[in-house]
Amino acid sequence: MSEVLVLVEHVDGEVKKITSELLTAARQIGEPSAVVVGEPGTAGKLGEALAAQGAEKVYAAESAEAGQFLVTPQVDVLSALVASASPAAVLLPASVDGKEIAGRLAVRTGSGLLSEVVGIDGSAVASHSLFGGTYEAKAKAVSGTPVVTVLPGSVEPEPAAGAAAVEQVEVPAADAGKSAKITGRQPVEAGDRPELTEASVVVSGGRGVGSAESFEVVEKLADSLGAAVGASRAAVDSGYYPHQFQVGQTGKTVSPQLYIALGISGAIQHRAGMQTSKTVVAVNKDAEAPIFEIADFGVVGDLFQVAPQLTDEVAKRK
Instruction: Report the binding-site residues for FAD.
Output: 207, 232-233, 246-250, 263-270, 284
CB atoms within 10 A of CB 26: 29
**DSSP-H helix ranges across the chain:** 17-29, 42-52, 72-85, 96-109, 215-225, 233-237, 268-271, 291-294, 303-316
CB of 241 to ligand FAD, least distance (A): 10
Binding residues: 207, 232-233, 246-250, 263-270, 284
| Residue nearer to ligand FAD on the CB measure, 140 or 243 | 243
Residue with smaller CB distance to ligand FAD, 194 or 206: 206
CB 63, CB 39: distance < 8 Å = yes
Question: Based on CB atoms, which residue is closest to ligand FAD, 10 or 271?
Answer: 271
Beta bridge partners of 149: 92
The answer to whether the beta carbons of residues 46 and 136 sit under 8 Å apart is no
- Rule CB under 6 A: which residues touch ligand FAD? 206-208, 232-235, 246-251, 263-265, 267, 269-270, 273, 283-286, 289, 302-304
Least Å distance, CB 267 to ligand FAD, is: 4
Distance (Å, rounded) from C-alpha 64 to C-alpha 267? 44
Distances (CA, A) of 311 to 169, 222, 257, 305: 50, 8, 18, 10
> Smallest distance, Å, CB 299 to ligand FAD?
9
Nearer to ligand FAD (CB atom), residue 145 or residue 284: 284
Q: Cβ of residue 277: shortest distance to ligand FAD, in angstroms?
A: 14
The distance of closest approach from Cβ of residue 218 to ligand FAD in the complex, given in angstroms and rounded to an integer, is 11
Minimum distance, C-beta of residue 202 to ligand FAD, in the bound complex (Å): 13
Of 6 and 247, which CB lies nearer to ligand FAD in the complex structure?
A: 247
Residue 136 or 286 with smaller CB distance to ligand FAD = 286
The residue type at 14: E
Dist. CA 220–CA 38, nearest whole Å: 37
Q: Give the alpha-carbon dihedral of 267, 271, 273, 279, to 10 degrees.
A: 140
What secondary structure letter does DSSP report for 81?
H
